[in-house]
Amino acid sequence: QVQLVESGGGLVQPGGSLRLSCTASGFTFSSYIMSWYRQAPGKERELVAVITSDGSNTNYADSVKGRFTISRDNAKNRVYLQMNSLTPEDPAVYYCKAEARVGLVRGWGQGTQVTVSS
């Protein structure tokens, strides 16, 4: 069965860092585009970062460019989101998504909460 499980969320002070991970199973992870989304209370779910199946290309929302880095380790069936210089605009539930190609979604994770507070 397809499964995506996020972890690494928690409480961090402004300016701090967190590293989220998403572990996949039940499909050929190395063939899939992976992305991170987030949804804050009262806001739409938004794309944060995306990475191609082989990790050769990435893209980021303007709000996180220069602060967040998406990466993947296909040998571990895992995609990461390194979040640095966190601000009060970053708290949200963060989700990972797998796509065989753009628009063909294989699955979503359950989400992990990120809270930024002093």
Q: What is the largest CA-CA distance in the chain?
A: 41
The mean pLDDT of 31-58, rounded to a whole number, is: 97
- DSSP, res 29: G
Cα 45 from Cα 31, distance rounded (Å): 25
Q: pLDDT tens, 1-12?
A: 999 999 999 999
Q: pLDDT tens, 47-63?
A: 999 999 999 999 999 99
Listed residue (62, 86, 81) closest to 23, CA to CA: 81
Give residue 103's pLDDT band: very low, low, confident or very high (50, 70, 90): very high
Cα-based distances in Å from 61 to 53, 78, 91: 19, 21, 15
> Residue 3 pairs with which residues in a beta bridge?
25
